[in-house]
Amino acid sequence: MPDRIYNFSPGPATLPYPVLEEAALDIVNYHDKGIGLIELSHRSKEFMAIADQAEQGIRELLAVPDNYKVLFLQGGASSQFFMIPMNLLTGGKKATYLNTGTWSKKAIKEAKLFGEIEVAYSSEEQSFNRVPLESEYSVDSASEYLYLVSNNTIYGTQFPTFPDKEVMLVADMSSDIFSRPVDVEKFGIIFAGAQKNIGPAGVTLVIIREDLLAAAGEQVPTMLKYQTHADKGSMFNTPPCFPIYCVGRVMHWLKELGGIPAIEKINQDKAGLLYQAIDSSDFYRGHAEEASRSLMNVAFNLPTPELEAQFIAEAAALGLDGLKGHRSIGGCRASIYNAFPKQGVEQLVDFMADFARKHG
């Protein structure tokens, strides 16, 4: 392996090195066929097999039931913000949203274009430092779905468990899908942009219950209907071939590692090291309330913005890159998705202790 920096970027994010290596070879000459991976027709039997393997990997790892479709779409996770209400709320139906950060706020704005939207909970006034307990909100029985962002990438909060209300869930899992077990049957739709936890930018994974495909009204454009993509196995038009290939290889890597139970344990260990470093010092202050802490994005502050800037610069010089927090809350953020190596977290924790000793 060449010298690699530790990439704490929130996304696009670090990928498993074996996947990068394999992709680099396949791009030039796919399985010795004399043609590069990204030159293959999406209708070729080679690419059909690639897409099929990616889907099977996803189904196996998440135990996706047979009455759900797995779709590979474009337009980013952000396009799901409108596609979901456009398809499910035709005729101005109602839905409930939990406002736990920038990504839910954006989804709420789009949903209001299509239906009657109730925001049952918001932590905006506490700068989104927590997610709600189930006792803190209720869902109108007329709601078609309850929408939540399972992991709030910017603020470093995560639902520790999923709501158990009498309503179908719809979840944006862009930054924590495949990091822990999920009972897919509780959800009507799960979606995720690939670039955080499952691949490069360019494909959005959508897992949708089959009975929801028919909900869209006539006026929904063909490309924006889930049914269109479900009917054609995500090949209604040219799909994002290379990102789909990468997702398939990441699924393979994850299976070899021991699947979701194994990665969940690793994720708990990695995040545990960082939260312990924060909790054992007066120098670092975590952004999230303890019960809402994310295992994927650890957001924290130092005593002053000047020290934060110095911390980020010195860390980068040591090969600990991408620690700058999102501009909305400043500070630092360590994004430690599935593929982020534990050694990188250990190095960061050591650096944090050194830096606090010098400046605390």
Ligand X SMILES: *Cc1c(COP(=O)(O)O)cnc(C)c1O
Binding site for ligand X (CB under 6 A): 11, 76-78, 103, 149, 153, 172, 174-175, 193, 196
Query: Smallest distance from the beta carbon of 174 to ligand X, in angstroms?
Result: 4
- What whole-number distance in Å separates Cα of residue 335 and Cα of residue 321? 10
Characterise 298 by phi-psi region: left (phi > 0), alpha (psi -120 to 50), beta (else).
beta
Query: Smallest distance from the beta carbon of 346 to ligand X, in angstroms?
Result: 25
- What whole-number distance in Å separates Cα of residue 2 and Cα of residue 160? 37
User: Strands 187-193 and 204-209: what pairing?
Assistant: antiparallel
Query: Smallest distance from the beta carbon of 118 to ligand X, in angstroms?
Result: 21
Our CB check for ligand X shows the closer of 172 and 308 to be 172
Contact 146, 139 (CB under 8 A): yes
Our CB check for ligand X shows the closer of 73 and 212 to be 73
Our CB check for ligand X shows the closer of 193 and 286 to be 193
DSSP 325: P
Contact 147, 159 (CB under 8 A): no
DSSP 186: G
Query: Smallest distance from the beta carbon of 240 to ligand X, in angstroms?
Result: 12
Our CB check for ligand X shows the closer of 196 and 252 to be 196
Query: Smallest distance from the beta carbon of 78 to ligand X, in angstroms?
Result: 3
With a CB cutoff of 8 Å and minimum separation 6, the contacts of 337 are 13, 14, 175, 179, 196, 197, 296
Q: How many CA atoms lie within 13 A of 231 on its CB side?
A: 11
Q: Which sequence positions are flagged as catalytic?
A: 103, 172, 196
Helix (H, G, I), strand (E, B), or coil: what is residue 194? coil
